[in-house]
A and B are shown apart, each in its own frame.
Chain A
Amino acid sequence: DAGVIQSPRHEVTEMGQEVTLRCKPISGHDYLFWYRQTMMRGLELLIYFNNNVPIDDSGMPEDRFSAKMPNASFSTLKIQPSEPRDSAVYFCASSLGLTIQGSEQYFGPGTRLTVT
Chain B
Amino acid sequence: GEDVEQSLFLSVREGDSSVINCTYTDSSSTYLYWYKQEPGAGLQLLTYIFSNMDMKQDQRLTVLLNKKDKHLSLRIADTQTGDSAIYFCAEANAGGTSYGKLTFGQGTILTVHP
Contacts and interface: CB of A to CB of B under 8 A. Distances in A.
Given A48-B101, A99-B31, A104 B45 contact: yes
B88 interface: yes
Interface string B64-98: 00000000000000000000000010101110010
Contacts, number: 60
B44 A45 contact: no
Interface of B: 30-31, 33, 35, 40-45, 48, 50, 88, 90, 92-94, 97, 99-102, 104-107
B42 A109 contact: yes
Given A48-B101, A56-B101, A105-B102, A99 B33 contact: yes
Contact of A107 (B40, B42, B97, B101): B42
Contact of A100 (B42, B45, B92, B107): B92
B30 A100 contact: yes
Closest 5 A/B residue pairs (Cβ): A107-B42, A99-B92, A43-B104, A107-B43, A100-B92
A42 B42 contact: no
Interface residues of A, number: 22
Contacts of A93: 42-43
Contacts of B90: 99
A106 B41 CA distance: 12
Given A45-B102, A56-B100, A102 B44 contact: no
A48 B100 contact: yes
A58 B99 CA distance: 12
Given A43-B88, A48-B100, A102-B50, A107 B31 contact: no
A4 B42 contact: yes
